[in-house]
Copies of this chain bind each other. A is one copy, B any other.
């Protein structure tokens, strides 16, 4: 099996998650990780046996041994890093969103295309076994033509208000995953968006100009319509459900739970609440997305989630935000 050498840029929560997954891949060498706060990283990196820790990501991008980089740094640094990495011929895995600006994202996509490198965006949910199955079933025509796409996506608790302030807002930071999922399930582009939003979870979120609850209606090119409901706080866990309804049937899936145990008592029947958050729920999906990326590099399999997918989700997020602000539907020209 061909070996691929990898460097990771950014050793925050998501960078570490990828590192800890990659280290177990037998056909991959995890050579380096970069972080500006190198002191916080060094012990952890040693323990999981990453060969090299550097402060400056340039060492990684210019390292001729390295075939591919994982861009896990803050969103506002993505564009510069990706463009440079592409110029140096590195394959690139980038966490979402690619950038906060559609124009910048387009620039990134041009650079990547020109360089002819692989570019995968971290829409990890596409690799969840349930959603992947529904996507494939829709594609196979199991439910005929899709008429209605429904997504429920609720976090167990809001991030710190400080995070929210710089996050781009609910549509860009949180719902962007769902916008991608909607396109993925419908196998069609979104042509119109209408969003209502509310600040119901925590007034502090409203004070930094964001909302915490939203319903977004989508119209697709193929005629289907869809709806996403989002909340920053579901006390019963990370609620992630999708549904695709068509003229020949309906596809749904249940949330995952820690166990399938049911306790029946004189008070009723009790089951576990949902898995707490994305690290538990999408544990396997994170591994599968990395496998797919490595596979694409080593064997030329097509990417399941590329730069264009990243761009499209951002365009929908922007339209949703605009719709919410202006109180009217917004058209998208694809």
Bound CA–CA A333/B327 (angstroms): 17
Cβ of A268 and Cβ of B268 under 8 Å apart?
A: no
CB <8 Å contact, B148 and A229: yes
The distance from the CB of A257 to the nearest CB of chain B, in whole angstroms, is 8
**Copies of this protein, total:** 4
Cβ of A13 under 8 Å from chain B: no
A328 at the interface (CB under 8 A from B): yes
Q: A132 to chain B: closest CB distance in Å?
A: 8
Set B129, B256, B328: member contacting A328, Cβ < 8 A? B328
Instruction: Give which listed residue, B148, B219, B237, contacts A231 with CB less than 8 A.
Output: B148
A245-289 toward B: CB 8 Å interface, digit per residue (1/0)?
A: 101111111111011111111111111111000000000000000
B226 and A249 contacting across the interface, CB-CB below 8 Å:
no
**Known A-B contacts A215-B227, A227-B227, A233-B247; A261 and B142 likewise in contact (beta carbons under 8 Å):** no
Judge whether A4 is part of the interface by a CB distance below 8 angstroms: no
A217 touches B198 (CB 8 A): no
Q: A154, A200, A239, A252 — which one has the most chain B CB atoms within 10 A of its CB? A: A200
CA distance A252 to B260 in the complex (A): 8
The residue from B219, B226, B268, B273 contacting A236, defined by CB atoms under 8 A apart: B268
Is A116 interfacial (CB 8 A cutoff)? no
Instruction: Report B-chain residues with C-beta under 8 Å of the C-beta of A250.
Output: 234, 236, 239, 263-265
Contacts of A152 in B (CB 8 A): 150
Per a CB cutoff under 8 Å, which of B217, B252, B262 touches A194? B217
A213:B148 contact, CB within 8 angstroms: yes
Which chain B residue has the least Cβ–Cβ distance from A226?
B215
Residues of A within 8 Å of B, CB-based: how many?
74
Q: Mark A182-221, 1 if CB is under 8 A from B, else 0.
A: 0000000000101011101100000000000111010100
When chains A and B are docked, how far (Å) is the Cα of A122 from the Cα of B237? Answer: 34
Q: Is the CB of B260 within 8 A of A267?
A: no
Verify if A26 is at the interface (C-beta below 8 Å from B): yes
Q: State whether A273 touches B262 (Cβ < 8 A).
A: no
Residues of B with C-beta under 8 A to A133: 259, 261
Show 14 A/B contacts (Cβ-Cβ < 8 Å), sorted by A.
A142-B263, A154-B245, A196-B217, A196-B219, A213-B225, A236-B268, A249-B266, A250-B265, A252-B262, A253-B259, A264-B273, A267-B273, A268-B270, A269-B272
Given known contacts A148-B213, A201-B247, A248-B265, what 12 new A-B pairs fall within 8 Å (CB)?
Answer: A129-B259, A130-B261, A137-B261, A150-B152, A150-B229, A154-B245, A194-B194, A196-B329, A197-B225, A237-B264, A254-B260, A254-B262
